[in-house]
Structure 1
Amino acid sequence: MSLEPAPRLHTKPPQTTPAHRKQLRALVRAGVENRPGVYRMLGPTGTVIYVGQSRVLRTRLLSYFRATGRRNKAARILRHAFQIEWEYTNTEFGALLRELRLIKQYRPHFNTMMVMDEWPRAYVALTGGTVPGLRVVARSDDPGAVALFGPFRRVAHLREAVRALAEATGLRDCTLEDTVRGSGSQRGSALWFSDDPATRPKAVPRSRAPGCLRHDLGTCAGPCIGQGQSAAYRTAALTLREFLDGRSDGPVQQLEQAMQQAAAELAFEKAGILRDRLALVRWLHERVQHFHANVDRLTFRYHAVGHADAEWVYLIRRGTVRAEVRAPRTAEEQEAFEALVTRIYDGTDPTGADIPTHDLDEFYLVASWFRRRAEEKKRTRHAHTRR
């Protein structure tokens, strides 16, 4: 299903020749069917540069060869495509799902660039390690995140809200890592607490490090300069995790109490600062609550009709697709199907998390699919019903 790359004639950036594009078009015409599927455009070295999908794959791919103009998206992608690969999926929904997973796997240049051009977005991330931190990240699969929420379009407003949340809880919002490397084999923790001297770095004495402005202002424990108490910090990190999981409004209550106390003490300037901080944290809390309310609604079976009118069942739990199987046609298949349903829906989530951080984009894909297609929503069933 692929064509060997043509000789590389251009390097900045590499582009195909009209003759090679003609060969690609002939390949598509001869080999692609009009059924749901995904396709990959590959560069001269085999790197995936773009991933797309369609319910009529042949028609979609042939449309690339009719595109013209320097700024036309399809024409632009095709000029850099040395190979085209494709695969079929069982349904249109399956094509969308497969496309998303391939984009997350390969992070193709043109997919990433076009998303950024369309609208900027960012996520709230709680990082792991011995000293968790709060930060704004650009990727839904940020490797350092243990809890993630988003995406947000109002990135500047989100940064203000995250800073307000960090100030309310005392957690760090810097980008320091938990470990640093010194000369030779010396290593030490880049972040440590005053009551835990065993973690003090050997390679870089923290007494020589610059100060922490947030610590000086009383809004951060200051682990970057060896300040704060480890137990209190862990408690604050747990409170923040519960906030992002939608199980607590602790930071909101803390700010409300602090604002009321400042007003009672006639410290009106301080009360005003806390009021503004509270408004930002409430804004974030409302969106967290709305997100988790929607997650709870997205647990069901989806019986979709696919190619050749075959019925496929998607087992969806809390907004992510856990399995895709052909609808049972025999008693034996029905028994195996019911065992799979029980394994996926009963008990604790097999992923070990309410919403796996790497599945946020999948959750939004599932939610969008049923929001925009009321007729498909009618094809959903309760998780444990036989039909």
Structure 2
Amino acid sequence: MPRKRSQVTIPEELATTFATSERCPSRESVRTIDLTGTLKTIRSRVRENCPQSPGVYSLINSENQIVYVGMSVSLANRLQTYFTQKRARRRESRIRRAAVRLIWQPLDHGLIARIRERELIRKFRPLMNVIGHPTQLKTGYVVAIDHPVGGFEFVEELRGRYQGIWGPIPFNQWSRDATEELNLHFQLRDCPKSTVLYFSGQPTPEAPSTPCLRADLGTCLSPCIGKCSKTAYLRAFKRARSFLNGSAEDVTAEIETQMREAAGEKNFETAARLRDRMKAFRYLNDRLRRFHDWTNRANFVYRFTSEIDSQPRWLVVSRGVIHQLIDEPSSVEQAMGILNPLNSSRTRHSKPTRPNEQLRPGDFETARILFRWFRQFPKEKTSRLSYSAALRLIKRRRAD
């Protein structure tokens, strides 16, 4: 018997929503076909209607819900794999059986297709997608508490003001543990802001009580009972900030020395605790350097040729986030109108402290894709221009 699918009518709103993009708008319209008829006839319709260019696609069930979102550098070739009877295509067959309609949109470049795929997954949350699903990738921030004598916390959402923000980084137990180890190593407080502080040399109650276990264990400088001066506490806080900003070698070397000394004294419990701390610090530093630092430096124009109409395009990136996808400017004035405001913004936000200056979770995923793209295809770095180099390119072309 021929394998058929019942025809349904998809609301126009779904196609419009599918085509809408905050980061990478496309000039190409969305196309759809019903999955009716045999697999052979469906493959034939795909070959006739779908281009070989990069793009994104989705399969929709009878309830007008998007069940799967994907991308490909060659849409026609990829989509035909869903309508074969090969045993090697079991996953594609399972997705196809849940769908009654196919929708796709051509895009200018493979990188754009990757970014659009993750954007659509975050928007629609398809049941059959795993990679890129919001429930699979949560992000958080290491923040310095907004207090004259504060410590550090790991939060999922930014609310209010902070002395400093580092991230986003993956929201998981490792990141939480690393932030806790940060307070422990530098002996910074993690008690409520309302705790009354009595620094050394200041008047204290006649019999100040030890407020918590950390004070007893000596893992906190204990400014609440006058065990340290304000200067000493702020010095430790500054060292912790330096670690988060990239000066990690001295801290990890210090922990490693302490670990070896503890092991030499056969204090293996202490050595194991220091080993776990060093692992946590290396994990935190690696995540911060990989994305936090890269996004702050990622201010460039990625120049490429569209695979749809062979015209030059600019992907303008500011602090790791796609600012615009545009045709290559035809004049210096047009290019300056786009790039000069971003230069000013980059200088102003070089040390972000407010939530609205930070990456959103979706922007974090975009930064990850950009970062991986240029690592996977290092030759593409030659097409990555600084803002000033992009302006010089337009000037030379005008002069010619």
TM-score grouping bracket, smaller chain normalisation = 0.5 to 0.7
Q: Say which of 94, 112, 133 aligns to 1:94.
A: 112
Q: Which residue of 2 aligns with 1:126?
A: 142
Alignment-mate amino acid for residue 333 of structure 2: E
| Cα distance in 2 between the residues matched to 1:239 and 1:81 | 56
Asked whether 1:370 is paired with 2:374, we answer: yes
Query: Unaligned 5+ residue runs, structure 1?
Result: 6-16, 174-190, 197-210, 223-230
Superposed CA offset, 1:285-312 (max 9, x none): 5413454554455332111111231111
Deviation at residue 78 of structure 1 after TM alignment:
1.7
C-alpha distance after superposition, 1:50-91 (max 9, x if no partner): 221122212211211126559832222222223322222222
Q: Distance in 2 between matches of 1:243 and 1:110?
A: 40
Q: Compared with structure 1, are the counterparts of its residues 24 and 275 closer, same or farther at alpha carbon in structure 2 (3 Å cutoff)?
A: same
CA contact (8 A) 1:126 1:241 kept: no
Question: 1:127 and 1:311 mapped to 2: Cα distance?
Answer: 41
Candidates 339, 343, 346, aligned match of 1:345: 343
**8 Å Cα contact 2:69/2:126 also seen in 1:** yes
Q: Against the structure 1 CA distance between its residues 132 and 278, is the aligned structure 2 distance closer, same or farther, given a 3 Å change threshold? A: closer
Q: For 1:21 and 1:234, locate their aligned partners in 2 and report how far apart those are by CA, in whole Å.
A: 72
Distance 1:129 1:83 in 2: 50
Once structures 1 and 2 are overlaid, which stretch shifts more, 231-240 or 297-306?
Answer: 231-240
The normalised TM-score by structure 2 is: 0.60
Identify which of structures 1 and 2 has the higher relative contact order when contacts are C-alpha pairs closer than 8 Å and 6+ apart.
2
The 8 Å contact of residues 152 and 179 in structure 2, kept in 1 or not, is answered as: no
The Cα of 1:383 is off from its aligned counterpart by 1.5
Going from structure 1 to structure 2, the CA distance change for 1:67 and 1:381 (only over 3 Å counts) comes to farther
Query: Match of 2:100?
Result: 82
**Structure of greater Rg:** 2
Between Structure 1 and Structure 2, how many residues are aligned?
Answer: 322
Q: For 1:297 and 1:57, locate their aligned partners in 2 and report how far apart those are by CA, in whole Å.
A: 33
Root-mean-square deviation (Å): 5.0
The whole-number CA distance in structure 2 between the counterparts of 1:356 and 1:18 is 39
Query: What is the TM-score when the length of structure 1 is the normalising length?
Result: 0.62
Give unpaired runs (5+ residues) of structure 2.
1-6, 11-33, 160-164, 198-210, 223-229, 394-400
2:5 equivalent to 1:4: no
CA contact (8 A) 2:291 2:367 kept: no
Aligned to 1:178: none
Show the 5 A alignment for 1:1-387: 4=9, 19=36, 28-66=46-84, 68-69=86-87, 72-111=90-129, 113-114=130-131, 125-126=141-142, 134-135=153-154, 142-143=156-157, 147-151=166-170, 160-168=177-185, 193-195=194-196, 243-244=243-244, 246=245, 252=251, 272=271, 275-276=274-275, 278-284=277-283, 286-287=285-286, 288-295=288-295, 298-306=298-306, 307-329=308-330, 331=331, 334-348=332-346, 353=352, 356-358=359-361, 359-385=363-389, 386-387=392-393
Deviation per CA, 1:158-182: give whole Å up to 9, x if none: 5653442343356799xxxxxxxxx
* Aligned partner of residue 301 in structure 1, secondary structure: strand
For 1:167, the aligned partner's letter is L
Q: 1 CA distance for matches of 2:120 and 2:341?
A: 26
Shift of 1:328: 2.5
Q: What percentage of aligned pairs have identical amino acids?
A: 23
In the aligned structure 2, how far is the partner of 1:65 from the partner of 1:295? 40
User: Residues 19, 309 of structure 1: CA spacing in aligned structure 2 closer, same or farther, 3 A cutoff?
Assistant: closer
Change in CA separation of 1:249 and 1:310 when aligned onto 2, cut-off 3 Å: same
Aligned to 2:18: none
- Give me the whole-angstrom Cα distance separating, in 1, the residues matched to 2:189 and 2:88: 46
Whole-angstrom distance in 2 between the partners of 1:213 and 1:69 = 61
CA–CA distance in structure 2, aligned partners of residues 27 and 158 of structure 1? 49
Gap change, CA 1:324 and 1:164, over 3 Å in 2: same
* Greater mean deviation of Cα atoms: 27-36 or 317-326: 27-36
